[in-house]
Amino acid sequence: MALPPLDPYKWQGSLRAFAWGLRSVTSTVLTLVLFATYLGIGALAHDTHFSLGWVLASTLLVWAGPAQIILISTLGSGATVLQAAIAVTVSAIRLFPMVVSVLPMIRTPRTKRRELLLVTHFIAVTLWVECFRLLPQVPRERRIAFTHGLGVGLVSVCLVATTIGYGLAANLPELFGAAILLLTPLAFLLSTARNCRQLADILALALGLALFPLAAQLHTGVDILISGVSAGTIAYGVHWWREQA
């Protein structure tokens, strides 16, 4: 599916922009990846004896695959609420730079902060990647409505997947589980690679992959943060140095 050209008529009204956002859910393979991932989360919640309503509420409120997997598996293994909260918050730090880098694409000079609350809640890997791909084709004053449509569409797909996964749990073979779990790194890697525009992005991706195994040797609990900030900063340094030269 292609979005309409930047023609004011085609983008008239927020409702139409919302509908284009909703329809864009069908334009990306990441929707399938999310669907499969949330099948897995539903099944995991069933196996660890959480109720269906609880895991649906977690999809709606948390809206970040890795955080939900960590939350369900730590609580399920008998960890305290505090231990679970710490594990979740470390995994969620990545959301901060994502929000900071997406919001300038979405707001106009007149946009108030509270108008961006729901957009901010929807930001996770998929929406982050899709915003960089799709928003340049959307007129700026329609971007909030468009992103709301995209977010509502993706969350709905995942609520359905969570429910199906919860129902199927007992019947899923191990090979299927392995295939679902491999989807996440594969799709994250390729969709991020596709979005790389500048040298800094490509370097950050390559260095981030290479430095994590080194940082993991430190066993700090925040290894991803250490490798991410150093790889990102080195990548930015190279970019800065080339600009100067």
Binding to other proteins, residues 1-60 (CB under 8 A): 28-30, 33, 44, 50-54, 57-58
Stretch that binds other proteins, among 5-13, 18-26, 156-164, 199-207 (CB under 8 A): 199-207
Residue choice 81, 170, 241, 244 for contact with other proteins (CB under 8 A): 81
Per DSSP, the residues of the chain read --PPPS-TTTT-SHHHHHHHHHHHGGG-HHHHHHHHHHHHHHHHHHHTT--HHHHHHHHHHT--HHHHHHHHHHHHTT--HHHHHHHHHHHHTTHHHHHHHHHHHH--TT--GGGGHHHHHH-SHHHHHHHHHHGGGS-GGGHHHHHHHHHHHHHHHHHHHHHHHHHHGGG--HHHHHHHHHHHHHHHHHHHHHH--SHHHHHHHHHHHHHHHHHHTT--S-HHHHHHHHHHHHHHHHHHHHHH-
Residue choice 6, 15, 216, 218 for contact with other proteins (CB under 8 A): 216
Stretch that binds other proteins, among 11-19, 145-153, 159-167, 181-189 (CB under 8 A): 181-189
User: Is residue 96 a contact point for other proteins (CB under 8 A)?
Assistant: yes
User: Which of 72, 25, 64 minimizes the C-alpha distance to 47?
Assistant: 72
Minimum CB distance to other proteins, residue 9 (Å): 26
- For residues 72 and 145, which CB has a smaller minimum distance to other proteins in the complex? 72
Site for other proteins in 106-165 (CB under 8 A): 107, 113, 116-117, 120-121, 123, 125, 128
Residue choice 61, 171, 219, 244 for contact with other proteins (CB under 8 A): 61
Minimum CB distance to other proteins, residue 157 (Å): 17
Please name the residues in contact with 206: beta carbons below 8 A apart, sequence gap of 6 or more.
none
- For residues 19 and 98, which CB has a smaller minimum distance to other proteins in the complex? 98
Minimum CB distance to other proteins, residue 229 (Å): 6
Minimum CB distance to other proteins, residue 172 (Å): 9
Cβ atoms of residues 236 and 223 within 8 Å: no
Count of residues interacting with other proteins (CB under 8 A): 103
User: Is residue 168 a contact point for other proteins (CB under 8 A)?
Assistant: no
Minimum CB distance to other proteins, residue 192 (Å): 6
